[in-house]
Structure 1
Amino acid sequence: MGTSLPTPVRLALSAYGLCWKAATPLLRLNHRLRDGWDQRTLSGGLPAPAHLWIQAASGGEAYLAREVLKELRPPKGETLRVLVTTNTAQGFETLERAADEIHKKRAGIAIQPWYFPFDAPEAMDRMVAHVAPRAVLILETEIWPGFLNACRRHGAPVLLANGRMTTKSLAGYMAWPGLFRALAPQRVMAVSETDARRFGTLFGRERIWVMPNIKFDRMATARPMARKDNPLRDLIPQRANFVVFGSVRKQEIAPVTRLAAGLMRERTSAILGLFPRHMHHLPLWEKAMDGAGLNWTPRSRLTGAASPGTVILWDTFGELVPAYGLAKAAFVGGSLAPLGGQNFLEPLTCGVTPVTGPHWTNFAWVGREIVESGPAVEVADDREGLAALIRLLDAPPAKKTVAAQAAAYIRDRRGGAKSVAKQVAQFLNND
């Protein structure tokens, strides 16, 4: 059992618990929380006890959990029981697929996906007491006071791995540094020195390590898709000047629209695939395309090959990577406004040189070498972006060359999942 907490921290947790009691009935109205409601509230029972509890907030973290699970090695002759929780339906589906995949390939590991309970301290205490984990792994930045306190009370050591923290998040946590310092994980493995300094400010530098980002492990097998295998091949003519604008955001509608209009003006036969990051903002993009006088059509209405000079407004999910596979050039959104950027490793692994704006702090873990050594192009604004896209359209680098550069870059930065699995094993063996 953990040591007693200072009185101010205990009072803060009590107030936190009252907030959860008041908020939980209202959360029932949120349609995104209806999936797994019985598990989130523990009203439908409890999961089986487990040696290890992994918390993966959503779909992205669930993929990271999959990489760690692949590296775990159960004790000889024993079954390693793992509870893997998530906050979202997408994360739950990803964890179910990962569990099925690993169960088919590996003996000695039993994985149970579950929805992460609401962080009410009493409910979390009940959950942790029942599961009785020997170790807890939190992926990225899931700092839940009720959960951390329950782990502390029941002697379950916590490892926060693949840790990232923005200055904004740190400022929020520093509103009550004593609370988070008292509930700190036993160890934090951050993905960069910058993130490590921020975690160190919050939790104390003595417990912080730096590790390779597990996302490099996840992308290690990514390769360009042959056209014959691409599900979008009938929509994009083989020799078309096809450009993808990936994961563009509402806050950058003005510069992205200027970029799109400039591209279609300079290369009238081009086909542009515009992928909004959030589908509920599609009406805003429709209005912007109309305002710029662009010829556009929704992806859902395409029944055959797109005509030259068309902007395809992508209103279907799950097709961004195949679209990158057919593109000659790509712009990656979230980067022309201070939004942190989006994943520009995806087009690279498809053999396409990505153009990104200057705001990609959320992907600083990739390293500036990706720009300085040439595989990706950073531009200051939409004017520079247009010039870069035109250059790439007129002289696109060979896809095999770009993909090989990406593979070499990723290969040199792998190993995050193994390092986390090794630390988990140490935690499990020290009970």
Structure 2
Amino acid sequence: MALTAIGVALKTYGLAWKAALPLLKFNGRLKEGWEQRTLADGEPAPADLWMQAASGGEAYLAWEVLRHLKPAGTQTLRVLVTTNTLQGYQTLLRAAEEINGRRAGLAVQPWYFPFDAPELMDRMVRRVRPKLAVILETEIWPGFLSACKAGNVRVLLANGRMTTKSLAGYMAWPDLFRALGPDRIMAVSETDGRRFGTLFGRERVRVMTNIKFDRMGDAGPMARKTNPLGDLIPDKDPFVIFGSVRKEEEHDVTRLAAGLMSARPALVLGLFPRHMHHLDLWRRAMDGAGLNWVLRSRLNGPARPGTVILWDTFGELVPAYGLAKAAFVGGSLAPLGGQNFLEPLTSGVTPVTGPHWKNFAWVGREIIDSGLAVEASGWQDALESLKKIVDNPPPRQEVAKAAKQYIRDRRGGAEAVAKQVADFLNKD
């Protein structure tokens, strides 16, 4: 794509934003921070480093990197951190309060990421004048990247992930993204690195450890006497969790639940929907399977053996893992990418997952090969695995200890990004 063609593409992109902006004002999620998103109420202060974290998850990664940044000499390192969501903004506010409170030579300013209209991004870059921009995970905005190129701002994409679907979308304009691409990409796996290399050129890509390992603390299994759910789950009856199950796998999860309750009628099953607004679907599914169920919110005393608890309260999955003998982690019996099976592991429970867990491929295949987690080929295979674990659960403390060691061996991603940031900032 010739330079003139890139200019035409960006102009077309800008016209699309100009048409879209009046409509976006009616979006409830975007009203929060509208003045910052449109720069209608001014711009942020100049900064040496601009770090973009799309939403809440990436904001926590940014927080971890900020903790590892070390200013050179006595000069304050000014950092602008931006995000697209309210949850991300609230997280960045807490991060700024902590980092600024340390008085360790960093000055952190949170801001909403402006809409990617090229005119807005050009204005933002001219005002902030960063030496370096850091993108966390996969935030490839043409207006932002173009403004950085025009302003001679180097760009680092860190903790990078790239799905085949995303790559296919970006490959619609391969020359455009190659021309605007980051100066360096730090991908979380060789597979992600190859995909970034296809789009931007392999010479720009390095592989790093996922920062998410750094965020995992050393907390072990919660003692029953301090567990807030201890009075609801009798110690003498096996307790099994189906964590973060999704509506797309409802048929298989229901058969798994029915098979497990039939094979082990004395157990208590805690079913945690990934999305609470689908609770009625799970009620109907349990009724259709002839299973006895009760809502968690209606449970005032110990659950009876042979009961499915439909969890309709938030924030109790991790304490529940602390009481479970076995766990199935959802989002994995249908091609949905899986859910977090490190949570039960750090609670001392060997998790069973279906075959679809590509969203957590960064954890490493070794977690399955080592036996720390079990990968089932389908619901029948998951049923057999759960029965074996229920009948002979590995010692909780040993599982938690092995999980902690697995995580510790893979930490260091935030430090690696901080070092790369320092290298860029210290270059003339």
For the aligned pair, the TM-score class normalised by the smaller chain equals: over 0.9
Q: 1:349 aligns with which of 346, 354, 358?
A: 346
Q: 1:373-392 CA deviation, whole Å, 9 max, x = no partner?
A: 11000100111111111111
1:295 corresponding residue in structure 2: 292
Q: State the distance in 2 between where 1:396 and 1:337 align.
A: 26
- Of 263, 285, 307 in structure 1, the residue corresponding to residue 260 of structure 2 is 263
Q: Tell me how far apart the structure 2 counterparts of residues 140 and 29 of structure 1 sit (CA, whole Å).
A: 28
How much has 1:225 moved relative to structure 2? 2.2
> Relative to structure 1, is the Cα distance of residues 109 and 229 closer, same or farther in structure 2, using a 3 angstrom cutoff?
farther
> Are positions 1:364 and 2:370 aligned together?
no
Distance 1:293 1:97 in 2: 47
Cα offset, 1:90, TM superposition: 1.7
What is the aligned partner in structure 2 of residue 55 from structure 1? 52
Partner of 1:173: 170
Which of 195, 209, 214 matches 2:211?
A: 214
Inter-partner Cα distance in structure 2 for 1:233 and 1:86:
38
- State the AA in 1 paired with 2:149: R
1:102 and 2:103 aligned: no
- Residue 116 of structure 1 corresponds to 113
Q: Which shows bigger deviation, 152-161 or 34-43?
A: 34-43
- CA shift at 1:46, angstroms? 1.8
Which whole-Å deviations, capped at 9, do the CAs of 1:16-70 have from their partners, x for residues lacking one? 1111122222222322222222222222322222111111111211121111111
Deviation string, structure 1 residues 288-337 (Cα, Å, up to 9, x no partner): 22222222233333334333322222223322222212211111111111
- Pair 1:214–1:295, CA change in 2 (3 A): same
2:224 corresponds in structure 1 to 227
* Aligned CA distance change for structure 1 residues 230 and 129 (closer, same or farther; 3 Å): farther
Tell whether the 8 Å contact from 1:71 to 1:418 is kept in structure 2 after alignment: yes
Q: Deviations over 1:351-407 (max 9, x none)?
A: 110100111112112111111111000100111111111111111111110011111
Residue by residue over 1:242-296, the C-alpha shift from the partner in whole angstroms, topping out at 9 and shown as x without a partner, is: 2111121121111111111112222223222222222232232222222222222
1:155 aligns with 2:152: yes
Determine the C-alpha separation between the residues in 1 that align with 2:43 and 2:310: 44
Q: Distance in 2 between matches of 1:129 and 1:315?
A: 49
Aligned 8 A contact 1:220 1:411 in 2: no
Query: Paired residue for 2:41, among 33, 41, 44?
Result: 44
372, 376, 388: which one aligns with 1:375: 372
The reply to whether residue 241 of structure 1 matches residue 238 of structure 2 is yes
Structure 1 residue 345, shift from structure 2 partner: 1.2
Cα pair 1:84 1:95 within 8 Å, conserved? yes
RMSD over equivalenced CA pairs, Å: 1.8
Distance 2:281 2:362 in 1: 31
Measured at CA, do residues 332 and 111 of structure 1 come closer, stay the same or move farther in structure 2, by a change above 3 Å?
A: same
Moved more, 56-65 or 291-300: 291-300
Structure 2: distance between partners of 1:303 and 1:29: 43
Query: Could you tell me which amino acid in structure 1 is paired with residue 73 of structure 2?
Result: K
Task: Describe the shift of the 1:181–1:104 C-alpha distance in structure 2 as closer, same or farther (beyond 3 A).
Answer: same
Preserved contact between residue 5 and residue 182 of structure 1 (Cα < 8 Å): no
CA distance in 1, matches of 2:40, 2:298: 44
Out of 185, 188, 192, which is 2:185 matched to? 188
Shift of the 302–47 alpha-carbon distance from structure 1 to 2, 3 Å rule, reads farther
Report the Cα distance in structure 2 between the residues aligned to 1:146 and 1:356, rounded to whole angstroms: 40
Matches within 5 A, 1:7-18: 7-18=4-15
The offset of 1:106, in angstroms, is 4.8
Secondary structure of the 2:322 match is helix
Which amino acid counterpart does residue 281 of structure 1 have in structure 2?
H
Q: Identity over the aligned pairs, expressed in percent?
A: 71
Q: In structure 2, what is the Cα distance between the partners aligned to 1:254 and 1:152? A: 50
Query: In the superposition, relative to structure 1, how do residues 45 and 227 fare at CA in structure 2: closer, same or farther (>3 Å)?
Result: farther
Structure 1 window deviating more from structure 2 (197-206 vs 111-120): it is 111-120
- Residues of 2 paired with 1:27 and 1:299: CA distance? 39
Residue identity opposite 2:424 in structure 1? F
* Structure 1 length-normalised TM: 0.95
Q: Structure 2: which 5+ runs fail to align?
A: none
Partner of 2:392: 395
Counterpart residue identity of residue 244, structure 1: I
Alpha carbons of structure 1 residues 299 and 84: separation in structure 2 relative to 1, 3 Å: farther
- State whether residues 324 and 347 of structure 1, in contact with CA within 8 Å, keep that contact through their aligned partners in structure 2: yes
Amino acid at match of 1:353: T
Residue 381 of structure 1 aligns to which amino acid in structure 2?
G
Gaps of 5+ in 1: none
- For residues 229 and 156 of structure 1, the distance between their equivalents in structure 2, rounded to whole angstroms, comes to 51
Distance 1:50 1:75 in 2: 15
The residue that corresponds to 1:33 in the other structure is 30
Aligned-pair CA distance for 1:12: 1.1
